[in-house]
Amino acid sequence: MTIDWRAYETHGFWDELITANGRARKGAGNLTRMLAELSDEELAARRTAAELAIRSMGITFTVYTGEGSGSIDREWPFDIIPRLIMKKEWDTVSEGLAQRVKALNRFINDIYHDQKIFDDDVLPREYIENSKEFREECRGISPPEGVWSHVCGSDLVRDADGQMYVLEDNLRVPSGVSYMLENREVMKRVFPELFEDYVIHPVDDYPNQLAACLRSLSPKRSPQIAVLTPGIFNSAYYEHAYLANAMAAQLVEGSDLVVDKDDKVYMRTIEGFVQVDVIYRRIDDLFMDPEVFHPDSALGVPGLMRAWRAGNVALANAPGCGVADDKVIYTYVPDIIRYYLNEEPLLPNVPSYRCVDKEERDYVLDNLDKLVVKPANESGGYGMLIGPKASKAERDKFARQILANPRNYMAQPMLLLSTAPTLVDAPNQPGGIAEGRHLDLRPFILSGKKTYVTTGGLTRVALRKGSTVVNSSQGGGSKDTWVVDLE
Amino acid sequence: MTNRNRILSSTAERAYWLGRYLERADSTARLVRVNSRLLYDLPKRLPLAWQGLVNITGSRELFDELFDEPSEKNVARYLINDARNPGSLIQSLDNARENVRTLRGIIPRGSVEYINEAHLYAKEQLSEPLSRSRRAEGLDEIQSFIQRIEGFMSANMLHDAHWTFLRLGNFIERADMTSRILEVGCEDIFEAASELEPFNDIQWRSVLLSLDATQSYNQVVQGPVSQEAVLEFLVHNTQLPRSLAYSLKSLRNSVRDLPRNEKVLRVINRLRRQTGALVVEKLDIEGIETFLDDFQGELASIDTEINRTYFQYKPRRRPRT
């Protein structure tokens, strides 16, 4: 048996490759035809080849196995059927992302300086004063180019009507970009012939772009760049090492760095201390400097904030940028874009309800069984209520939480996330069968002297049937993302 | 455009310890493997012979705490797969594995994979009690893993300062092991055996075997195995990779490639002079033992100096401006 697209069901969702009447979507014909031509054995062989490539390339992610028992490295779950996006659509999305991040950076800079946006009544002041991610210590600091979030990962989803929405912006320490790069490498090994049929835009420029972005943050001609990682037990350590290596930057842990009396940052090398000019930090704000934040943090560098404030080191992303990462602030992003850029947003937000507003809160409480409720400051899909799938008891518990702290919640209608054909195991068919699985897309946006948006991004797939949770820690996998030009 | 690659103290330190643990795993495997063959020949009433292997690792007290008698079974377990013994083969491989985890991107992938495999193999296949043949086979396999690990590194990794520190770890550990083996050679645990005709040179034959040096010895010395000739050979021969002189020479050559090496070189050269000045035939056993004790102390000083110079130095104090 081979893949039979006529038997493929889209179940009323928007499918990225196949239309509701079972035809290949525009541009996907070559791909679906080639897949259908593969015998079950060939398909199985490609899947095995992908698994082998992932193993031999050592592409892993770390899963915590619980208190005390530490963590294990798992191989990256990968589906060999790529997701396609037409170049024309991508150009619009990409422009929208650049616009969004530009406005968000202006917003953060304003929050830590004049706070004009409050004076102009676009956003209530107390939202920021109550935000967990607001850092008083950052007030009055002017990072280079006025940029706070140098690396942003925004999550995009497509609803049943085919429209792409921004689901959230990750402005602090978004991860996943190394998997975007590795996915492409794996695909080139597994399906080299497809790269003959398609004009697929390359993704491998990212490390160079990131390095250029980081360099632009220092006045020096060739600044010393370091990637600061919490260490091997962090779930994204693989990525930290990957990026440091690809950028020819130094991978360091907090214990490798010292801030001396001159308020400069040095790394301990066998030649003695060497000054570090730019730090791409992959640890959370609160762990960065025990002198200022968590005093017992062993991951950070005492004095780092001092060095940053003195302008002796650039930190990417800047501390405090999470203030715009807040899910309630998210609901204001369209207003933020209009306010700072005087432009209409190119990419829509998912319509959202703010629980802090009495009318909207009442609507949310009356419709908990239809809505997704999100806390303001969680990531990775934690702490959410998925109303239609929750029990009455869970909904009641959330209702109480919302009433107790309305500022901390927002709600959105349950989106019908788009799907793409994904190979799933089937009895007596080693190659598996193609079934629709829900997915999202995380592009990465770099902001320094210039702005850069990745070509496509990381497509994450919820591998469990019917699930919309795409996080790798919770049963998610990924697919290569092809931005293609039709000739 | 970019800065030249700097070597972090922390990764250099881990490379150094990787070198030490790999060497330690290798010498422990060899120690048990080759001595077993020799000890099988001994009459059963000489159980103390196995004690010698424990003494070489310098952890007799711990062994006595854990076991009642130095039987073959106990000693093999203690040296091979006892997690309670920090110097056991399994612990050395485990430590090597931990160090290499943070050296990904520096150590070739092939080496990393073999280190993981060797550890897994030791855990699964070398669980004492084992039959003598299974044990011998398993230890052979471990040594061949280590050969492959080092082969990959030697042929594929950048021979930069990480490599130098890895080699420093190898040579320090090797010199330490050779001196310990010589020290035990000087002890009298084989005394009872050496009075028996076929075994009168057994303790020095064991020393040569423990260092895989029998073949080389026969090539160079071309005479019977004697205490004096073996000591002379293992201390002074500059062509034998496991002799003291060779290890020290290699240490010095490696350190020469490093920056800021004056102090470390000074300590190494001091030990080279002391070792070079040793005249074996002029000393009795006690004199040799004192020399070997001092030798180990000096190796510890080299280790301390490496640590102080490259790994754990403090931030400099700048004059106030």
For A276, what's the count of Cα atoms within 13 Å in the CB-facing half-sphere? 37
User: How close B85 gets to chain A, by Cα (Å)?
Assistant: 22
What's the average model confidence in pLDDT over B264-277? 97
User: What is the distance between the alpha carbons of residues A162 and A330, in angstroms, rounded to a whole number?
Assistant: 22
Q: B9, A270: Cβ pair inside 8 Å?
A: yes
- Which of A237, A230, A229, A233 has the alpha carbon at shortest distance from A65? A233
Among A268, A274, A276, A301, which would you mutate to test the B interface (most chain B Cβ atoms within 10 Å of its Cβ)? A268
What's the average model confidence in pLDDT over B6-29? 95
User: Residue B130: its pLDDT value, please?
Assistant: 85
Question: Would the pLDDT of B202 be above 90?
Answer: no
User: Residue B321: its pLDDT value, please?
Assistant: 39
User: Residue A407: its pLDDT value, please?
Assistant: 85
User: Residue B192: its pLDDT value, please?
Assistant: 54
Q: How far apart are the first and last CA of chain A?
A: 32
Question: Would the pLDDT of A69 be above 80?
Answer: no
Which residues 159-188 of chain B have a CB within 8 Å of chain A? Answer: 161, 165
What type of residue sits at position A115? Q
Backbone angles phi, psi at B123, to 5 degrees: -65, -40
The answer to whether residue A262 neighbours chain B at the CB level (below 8 Å) is: yes
Question: Would the pLDDT of B50 be above 60?
Answer: yes
Q: What percent of chain B has pLDDT over 90?
A: 63
| ipTM field | 0.84
The answer to whether residue B4 neighbours chain A at the CB level (below 8 Å) is: no
b/e per residue A322-331 (b: at least 16 CB within 10 A) = bbbbbbbbbb
Chain A residue numbers with beta carbons less than 8 Å from the beta carbon of B102 are 231-232
For the stretch A283-337, pLDDT in tens is 999 999 999 888 887 889 999 999 999 999 999 999 999 999 888 899 999 999 9
User: Residue A210: its pLDDT value, please?
Assistant: 98
User: Residue A154: its pLDDT value, please?
Assistant: 96
For the stretch A180-203, pLDDT in tens is 999 999 999 999 988 888 889 999
Question: Would the pLDDT of B1 be above 70?
Answer: no
Domain boundaries, chain B: 9-311
User: Residue A60: its pLDDT value, please?
Assistant: 73
- Which of A61, A58, A59, A469 has the alpha carbon at shortest distance from A235? A61
Question: Would the pLDDT of A175 be above 70?
Answer: yes
What's the average model confidence in pLDDT over A168-177? 93
The answer to whether residue A272 neighbours chain B at the CB level (below 8 Å) is: yes
Comparing A332 with B223, the larger pLDDT belongs to A332
Q: Are A172 and A321 in contact (CB under 8 A)?
A: yes
- Which of B89, B187, B96 has the alpha carbon at shortest distance from B142? B89
What type of residue sits at position A47? R
What DSSP designation does A391 have? -
Average pLDDT of chain B, as a whole number = 88
Cross-chain CB nearest to A260 (options B1, B109, B318): B318
User: How close B41 gets to chain A, by Cα (Å)?
Assistant: 46
What's the average model confidence in pLDDT over B82-92? 94
What's the average model confidence in pLDDT over A166-173? 93
User: Residue B39: its pLDDT value, please?
Assistant: 74
Q: A268, B104: Cβ pair inside 8 Å?
A: no
For the stretch A345-357, pLDDT in tens is 999 999 999 998 8
Chain B residue numbers with beta carbons less than 8 Å from the beta carbon of A268 are 8-10, 313
Q: Which of A211-220, A393-402, B87-96, B191-200 has the lowest mean pLDDT?
A: B191-200
Q: Are A447 and A164 in contact (CB under 8 A)?
A: no
Q: What percent of chain A has pLDDT over 70?
A: 97
Q: Give the model's confidence band at A437: pLDDT under 50 very low, under 70 low, under 90 confident, else very high.
A: very high
Question: Would the pLDDT of A473 be above 80?
Answer: no
Give the count of Cβ contacts less than 8 A between chain A and B. Answer: 71
User: How close A64 gets to chain B, by Cα (Å)?
Assistant: 17
What type of residue sits at position A423? L
- Helix or strand (DSSP H, E) at A168: strand A164-170
Q: Give the model's confidence band at B53: pLDDT under 50 very low, under 70 low, under 90 confident, else very high.
A: confident
Q: Are A243 and A280 in contact (CB under 8 A)?
A: yes
For B291, what's the count of Cα atoms within 13 Å in the CB-facing half-sphere? 23
User: What is the distance between the alpha carbons of residues A453 and A93, in angstroms, rounded to a whole number?
Assistant: 10
Q: Are B150 and B29 in contact (CB under 8 A)?
A: no
The first and second tokens of residue B166, run together, are: 């890895």
User: What is the distance between the alpha carbons of residues B92 and B89, in angstroms, rounded to a whole number?
Assistant: 5
What domains can you pick out in chain A, each with its CATH number?
A: 108-151+199-341 (3.40.50.11290), 353-413 (3.30.1490.270)
For the stretch A377-418, pLDDT in tens is 776 667 889 888 899 999 999 999 999 988 889 999 988 899
Average pLDDT of chain A, as a whole number = 91
b/e per residue B276-300 (b: at least 16 CB within 10 A) = eebebeeeeeeebeebbeebeebbe
Q: Which of A88-102, A188-202, B9-23, B154-168 has the lowest mean pLDDT?
A: A188-202
Partners of A33 in beta bridges: none
The first and second tokens of residue A322, run together, are: 């999470």
Cross-chain CB nearest to B105 (options A241, A269, A274): A241
Cross-chain CB nearest to B7 (options A222, A251, A269): A269
Question: Would the pLDDT of A146 be above 70?
Answer: yes
For the stretch A210-238, pLDDT in tens is 999 999 999 999 999 999 999 888 888 88
User: What is the distance between the alpha carbons of residues B186 and B204, in angstroms, rounded to a whole number?
Assistant: 9
Burial environment of residue A296 by CB neighbours within 10 A (0 to 12, 13 to 18, 19 or more): exposed
User: Residue A379: its pLDDT value, please?
Assistant: 63
User: What is the distance between the alpha carbons of residues B167 and B189, in angstroms, rounded to a whole number?
Assistant: 33
Cross-chain CB nearest to A250 (options B6, B104, B315): B6
User: Residue A239: its pLDDT value, please?
Assistant: 92
Question: Would the pLDDT of A94 be above 80?
Answer: yes
Cross-chain CB nearest to A250 (options B1, B8, B315): B8
User: What is the distance between the alpha carbons of residues A172 and A151, in angstroms, rounded to a whole number?
Assistant: 8
Q: Give the model's confidence band at B242: pLDDT under 50 very low, under 70 low, under 90 confident, else very high.
A: very high
Cross-chain CB nearest to B315 (options A247, A260, A270): A260
- Which of A487, A470, A453, A429 has the alpha carbon at shortest distance from A90? A453
User: Residue B194: its pLDDT value, please?
Assistant: 54
Comparing B17 with B224, the larger pLDDT belongs to B17
For the stretch B281-318, pLDDT in tens is 888 888 999 999 999 999 999 999 999 999 988 775 44
The answer to whether residue A280 neighbours chain B at the CB level (below 8 Å) is: no
A-chain residue closest to B306, CA distance = A270
